[in-house]
């Protein structure tokens, strides 16, 4: 079943020059395509929408500050089982627990600045794509 997912390459990925490497890993997956891509610095309003379920948690403010600290690359990726697949490709949030071969396992350094976001479900993907790419149907 074909799906769409939102992927964000976070400020640390952009600052460290890893955008091409990460997008290349996504593009090399057979059957996955990038249908939208944009480089931009996120404002607080967008981040509040995106991270609404985390309001009040101790990591919320540092996360919003980090995510607005520099440009991010937002993209929509489509393909078979792409939601599960991109999350597997990203690896666990903690780079120490992320396996070699995953983005976080190969390039991650700390948990908060973990290079990549990928939607965790079809419902999340639909909601997140509307935030970052409101013109996509």
Assess if residue 21 is contained within a domain. yes
Assess if residue 80 is contained within a domain. yes
Q: Consult the annotation and say whether 107 binds a ligand.
A: no
Q: Say which CATH number the domain at 99 has.
A: 3.30.70.141
Q: Record the pTM.
A: 0.95
Q: Consult the annotation and say whether 104 binds a ligand.
A: yes
Assess if residue 137 is contained within a domain. no
Split at pLDDT 50, 70, 90, the class of 112 is confident
How far, in Å, CA of 88 to CA of 82, rounded?
Answer: 10
| Nearest alpha-carbon partner for 116 in 105, 126, 130, 124 | 105
Assess if residue 87 is contained within a domain. yes
Residue 50: active-site member: no
What is the predicted pLDDT for the residue at 17?
98
Assess if residue 26 is contained within a domain. yes
How far, in Å, CA of 97 to CA of 104, rounded?
Answer: 9
How far, in Å, CA of 80 to CA of 84, rounded?
Answer: 9
Residues of the domain holding 112: 2-132
Mean pLDDT, the chain, whole residue set: 95
How many domains does the chain divide into?
1
| Nearest alpha-carbon partner for 5 in 90, 94, 100, 92 | 90
Q: What is the pLDDT of residues 39-93, one digit of tens each?
A: 999 999 999 999 999 999 999 999 999 999 999 999 999 999 999 999 999 999 9
Assess if residue 35 is contained within a domain. yes
Say which of 117, 118, 129, 133 is annotated catalytic: 117
What is the predicted pLDDT for the residue at 111?
86
Split at pLDDT 50, 70, 90, the class of 137 is low
Q: Consult the annotation and say whether 59 binds a ligand.
A: yes
| Nearest alpha-carbon partner for 4 in 91, 132, 101, 126 | 126
11 Cβ partners below 8 Å, 6+ apart? 66, 67, 69, 70, 71, 72, 113
């Amino acid at each position: 079943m074909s799906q769409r997912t939102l992927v964000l390459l976070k400020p640390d990925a952009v600052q460290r020059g890893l955008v091409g490497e990460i997008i290349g890993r996504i593009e090399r997956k057979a059957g996955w395509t990038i249908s939208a891509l944009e480089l931009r610095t996120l404002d607080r309003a967008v981040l509040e929408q995106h991270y609404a379920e985390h309001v009040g948690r101790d990591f919320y403010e540092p996360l919003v500050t980090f995510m607005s600290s520099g440009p991010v690359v937002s993209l929509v990726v489509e393909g078979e089982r792409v939601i599960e697949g991109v999350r597997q490709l990203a690896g666990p949030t903690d780079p120490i627990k992320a396996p070699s071969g995953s983005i976080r396992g190969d390039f991650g350094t700390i948990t908060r600045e973990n290079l990549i976001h990928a939607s965790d479900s079809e419902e999340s993907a639909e909601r997140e794509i509307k935030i970052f790419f409101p013109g996509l149907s």
